[in-house]
Amino acid sequence: MATRIDKENYYLDIAETVASRATCLRKKYGSVIVNHDQIIATGYCGAPRGRVNCSDLGYCVKKKLLPNERHGGYDACRSVHSEQNAIISSSRQEMLGGTLYLVGYRTENHDYEEGAAPCLMCRKLIINSRNRKSNCKKKQRAICCLSSTRLD
């Protein structure tokens, strides 16, 4: 008899599937907001609606503008983050007390982002949306849980 997957990994696996829709050439991120065991919204990283994304352009806009920038330079990035897309796709009332599940991996090798966690701007949005916590997948079946109080 197969063992049943726990809820955290169930939602993280869904977030990983959502990430496969991402249009970033370097990293794929997916988010799922869950409240009362119900999926409220999903989001993946990509250009704003109606704009050309990096996968269609064939190059990373941030890398072209800031070739030596590894961490940071988000203003030059064409993508809206997965957490941002999930938050703007749902109502605040639905998110109150919910959990945001986040998965990120590198496109070249599909390795999970060991440091996957919401950036400073996304942390502020998560706090304001009143999500209770964020769960991030670090490795297969390894989770990092961040409460809203620890997102500061």
- Per-residue pLDDT tens over the stretch 109-120: 988 877 778 888
The Cα 112–Cα 52 span in angstroms is 26
Q: Give the integer Cα–Cα distance in Å for 13 and 15.
A: 5
Q: Tell me the three-class secondary structure of 18-57, residue by residue.
A: HHCCCCCCCEEEEEEEEECCEEEEEEECECCCCCCCHHHH
Higher-confidence residue of 73 and 20: namely: 20
pLDDT at residue number 22:
96
pLDDT attached to residue 138 = 66
Strands, E assignment, the chain: 27-35, 38-44, 99-106, 133-139, 142-147
Find the length of the chain: 152
